[in-house]
Amino acid sequence: MTTQDRITSADLLAMKRDGEKVSVLTAYDVSFAKIMDDCGIDVVLVGDSLGNVVQGHDSTLPVTMDDMAYHTRLVSRGIKHALLVADLPYHSYESVEAAVSNAQRLMAAGAQMVKLEGGVKLLPMLEALQQEGIPVCGHLGLLPQSVEELGGYKVQGRDAASADVILKDAMALEAAGVSMIVLECIPSALAKKISHVIKIPTIGIGAGVDCDGQVLVVYDMLGITRGKRPRFVRDFLAEVGGQVEDKVSAAIKNYISAVKQGRFPDDAQSYQ
């Protein structure tokens, strides 16, 4: 993507068609958002992962709509080029009415698209959001908001039955008008199949290099996160030298380049 205009869903579709990888990072404040935008990131996600990396919780579940609206407003002030996506947090889209109201709140805060976790159970909400003209990003595989139901942070879709469910969910989301889908912690072969079957972009995180793009939590990508890090994380900051500000910019540019060229993720950051 070379245009300096604001990236849209149509641009992402064109990138998939042209074989250009989509680079995505999370941001929670204006400073990181501006650095990413200046580096040429395609999509910035205000993730409910802020519950872990900003607020210090063990999961994303405590994150509220107030939190998401606040951080979306901050990030929106730093972006002129990238597409801005914001997560609808836990318990914020359990009904059609709640989904529409809360999505409208994030859009008013500066988001251009909202992200929801789940498959066919979301179809009534997705239909209502379509009617309101609110673009949606789906999220399949490991669903952090359902981590307790899933029995922890585990790779999903390793057996034929669960893989088929994820594939059918992806097709259902596409049919419902979803603009793109995040695939988290699923085998590379399954992510590759889904990416070929559906026409909308797939954004991988722990889903192999054959997705149409990649997303990482920025603090993970910069090696800031403490404790055990997931297998799919690479510390891009450790790969560059110089002053801290220069290293952050260089690390983000390195990440974008690695995504665009298909060098990230490699086998060490993928599941079989």
Active-site annotation, residues: 184
Residue 215 CB-density burial (10 A; 0-12 exposed, 13-18 middle, 19+ buried) = buried
- Amino acid 127 reads E
> Can you read off the two tokens belonging to residue 71?
């951080």
Can you give the length of the chain in residues?
A: 272
The contacts of residue 96 (CB under 8 Å, 6+ apart) are 124, 125, 128
φ, ψ at 123 (rounded to 5°): -55, -40
Could you tell me which of 127, 151, 124, 156 has the C-alpha nearest to residue 139? 156
Beta-carbon contacts of residue 152 (< 8 Å; ≥ 6 apart): none
CA atoms lying within 13 Å on the CB side of residue 79: 31
User: What CA–CA distance (Å, rounded) separates 30 from 24?
Assistant: 16
DSSP 184: E
Q: What is the DSSP string of 142-182?
A: S-GGGTTTTTSS-----SHHHHHHHHHHHHHHHHTT-SEEE
